[in-house]
Each structure stands twice: as structure tokens, then as C-alpha cells.
Amino acid sequence: MPANRFNGYTEYGVGIGLRIPHYRHILQEKPVVDWFEIISENYMVDGGRPLTVLDQILEQYRVVQHGVSMYFGSAEPLNREHLKRLKQLVRRTGTPWLSDHLCWGSVDGRYTHDLLPMPYTFEAAQWTAEKIRQVQDFVEVPVAVENVSSYAEYHVSEMTEWEFLNEVVERADCGILLDVNNIYVSSQNHSFDARTYVDAVPAERVAQIHIAGHSKFEKYILDTHDHPVLDPVWALYARAIERCGPTATLLEWDDNIPTFDEVHAEALKANRYLLQAAPEQVELEAVR
């Protein structure tokens, strides 16, 4: 199950997000890490240190691209310049799949740089799926869409978030980057059962899983990526692995970033669950 057409038939283990504060440590110490996820937009430049570091990382590690501003759900055409640069980067990294969010964030060419929640309507699903297909056709690697954390819901929605996700990925015939932290955050903000969401996702389309920490406020939870993964999220992760098998897993840590070793140690906790799902395979990965 984990190696599927949505992740380029790969069997990746536990990875971590490549972040600037860790560059020096990674390049000097060359720690054993199964793979790194990069934020595509940070390397869609013409030259300089970002690309130099990326090339050095690519000499040693496998890299998967994750985007934050394709905005599949924005009701405007795709940005051709963005697509062109994304494809150049895909060629550079050899990413077996790439991901971005099931959200919108730009209107009339103006960017919010945020991951705004979709209205869960059939019109939006159709539009979004068409744009995902266009991206997939253009970049020529499988695309996985990630469910976002949200703090608002719309009156116009005609279905649940997981129904919308399923509607989009079926229409687009694309993969899913299942973010179990985002499911937990949204479940608390919108009072739904997170496990119902995880159970509703088509397991055969899950290309990758995200885990992360969040921050709890008096009336809502924010997806801050500045903490270790909390127990309810690990529980959802366990359930996702139970359903999907040992799937490529990535820890996101984007704020108050601790040392590389701390981040890596937190990510490797995922192996507890991956080992239960396929002990032999995960042990082999660990040895390698």
C-alpha cells in the first residue's frame, strides 16, 4: 500500500523538513536521515545560497518538494511563472512526487500567503480538481494535496471537509498528503470527530503523512508547528498508519526550531508506529 502511483512507487520512511537553521549541521555532520522535505517556493530562485545548499543536500539525500502557494482552490488560473519555476525545480530535485495544499490564497493576482479554507461545494471541488490536473500534467510528477488546518467554515458548504477532499482527489485522480495534525486542529476548531475523518480518507491514495505540533488557545487551536507532536495527534497517526500501512512520514517544525537532533529525534518517534505496521521493512530502512 505505501508504495503507490501517488508517491512514485517509493518506500520512503521518516523525513524532516529542511530548514535554514539546520543547514550547517546537516552539511557538516551528514546525519543519517531518510529524506528531506523542502518548501518549493524557497528554492524557486535563479541562484545563490539556496540552490547551492540544495545541490549539496541532493548529493547526499533524497528530497521531496512541498509547496505553499500554488493555491489549487483559488478561483483564478494557475500562475504560469510559478509553474515554470516549479518544473525547473522538479527537474533539479528529482522529487518522486510533490505536494501542495487543498486551499485557496490569492484573488485577482493578489497573494495572502496564507492557506485559506475552501468552501466545501461541488463547484469548488470541480474547479480545484481541474487545476490539480493541470499542474500534474505540466510538472509530470504525481501531485498530492494536503488537508489544511482551518479556523473558519462557510455557510455555503455542501459537505464535510473529508467528503470534499475525497471529491477533489477522485476528480483530479491525485494523491493525498494526509496531515494528521491538521485534522486534529480542525476537529477541535469545528467540533468533529478526527477519527471519522481519518477513516474516511481513501487509504490507497495517501502518498505521504505530515505530523506536527500545535498551540492551544482559550477558544481555538492554531497550527503553529512550534512544539513536539502531541499525544492525540500520535493517536491519529497510529490510526492512519494502521489504515494506510507504513507511509512516508514527515515532521514539520517551523517556529522556535530546536537543534537538528531534537527535531530528528521527535520525527523518529514515528518509527514506533511504522514498526508495528511493517516491522521488517522499517528495520531495514533504519539499518540503511
Partner 1 sequence: MRPSLAELQRHVAAAVMQPLTQRETMRQRNASGISNAETAAQWIKPNDRLSSFERLEIYNRQYWFRVFASFEEDFPGLQAVLGRRRFQALMRAYLEANPSTSFSLRNLGRNLEAWTRTNLQFVEPYAALALDMLRLEWAHIESFDMAAVPSLQPEALGEVDEATRIGLQPHVMLLALQHDVDNALIALQRDAGSSNSSVNNAASARVVRRVRSLSGVQQQELFLAVHRWQDTVYYKRITREDFQLLRAIRGGSTLMESIEAAFAGSTLQDEARAAYLQSAFQHWMAMGWLCPAQEAAC
Among 71-79, 196-204, 236-244, 277-285, which window interacts with partner 1 (CB under 8 A)? 71-79
CB of 187 closer than 8 Å to CB of 147:
no
* 27 in contact with partner 1 (CB under 8 A): no
Q: Which residue, 4 or 65, is less far from partner 1 as judged by CB?
A: 65
* 110 in contact with partner 1 (CB under 8 A): yes
Cα separation, 141 vs 125, in Å, equals 21
Q: Quick one: which of 10, 58, 61, 79 contacts partner 1 (CB under 8 A)?
A: 79
Residue 154 CB, nearest distance to partner 1 (Å)?
6
Q: In which residue are the cell numbers 505521504 written?
A: 208
Cα separation, 282 vs 217, in Å, equals 37
Please state, as a whole number, how many other Cβ atoms lie within 10 Å of the Cβ of residue 4. Answer: 20
Q: Quick one: which of 7, 65, 69, 208 contacts partner 1 (CB under 8 A)?
A: 69
CB of 50 closer than 8 Å to CB of 93:
no
- 199 CB-contact burial (10 Å; exposed 0-12 / middle 13-18 / buried 19+): middle
* 80 in contact with partner 1 (CB under 8 A): no
Show the binding pattern over residues 232-251: x = contacts partner 1 (CB under 8 A), - = does not.
--------------------
Show the binding pattern over residues 42-61: x = contacts partner 1 (CB under 8 A), - = does not.
x-xxxxxxxxx---------
Residue 4 CB, nearest distance to partner 1 (Å)?
24
Residue 123 host element (H or E)? helix 122-139
Q: In which residue are the cell numbers 505530523 written?
A: 211
Please state, as a whole number, how many other Cβ atoms lie within 10 Å of the Cβ of residue 182. Answer: 28
Cα distances from 200 to residues 148, 155, 175, 205, 258, in angstroms, run 16, 22, 15, 12, 34
Among 129-137, 213-221, 241-249, 262-270, which window interacts with partner 1 (CB under 8 A)? 213-221
Q: Quick one: which of 152, 193, 231, 288 contacts partner 1 (CB under 8 A)?
A: 152
Q: Which three cell numbers stand for residue 5?
A: 502511483
Amino acid sitting at position 26: I
Q: Quick one: which of 173, 254, 281, 286 contacts partner 1 (CB under 8 A)?
A: 254
Q: Which three cell numbers stand for residue 97?
A: 512526487
Contacts of 30 (CB under 8 A, 6+ apart): 60
List the interface residues with partner 1, window 183-202 (CB under 8 A). 189-191
Q: Which residue, 56 or 196, is less far from partner 1 as judged by CB?
A: 56
| Count of positions on this chain that bind partner 1 (CB under 8 A) | 65
Q: Which residues bind partner 1 (CB under 8 A)?
A: 20, 39, 41-42, 44-52, 66, 68-70, 73-76, 79, 81-82, 101, 104, 106-116, 119, 121, 123-124, 127, 149, 151-156, 189-191, 212, 215, 217, 219-220, 222-226, 252, 254-255
